[in-house]
Amino acid sequence: MGFAPQTYSNPTANRLERLFFAHLDSVNIYKLHHKVVLLDCTYKTNRFRMLLLNICAVTGNRKTI
């Protein structure tokens, strides 16, 4: 597996607010190459108006993260 999920639940509403998961190799590569990160999560929303942020990148070594 090797995924590192992180969640945030709203204690007042008792519901999941945020979910983040990434492969541990991708997290380690990000830690090495963190100078430029562009995020845009306005493209996709679901019927609950929740945003989806999908990130895919290629390193200088042609490794997809």
**DSSP letters for 31-63:** HHS-S-------SEE-TT--EE-----B-TTS-
pLDDT tens-digit map of 18-58: 777 777 887 887 788 777 666 666 666 677 777 677 667 77
| d(C-alpha 22, C-alpha 28), whole Å | 10
The single-letter DSSP state of residue 1 is -
pLDDT tens-digit map of 2-23: 777 888 888 888 888 877 777 7
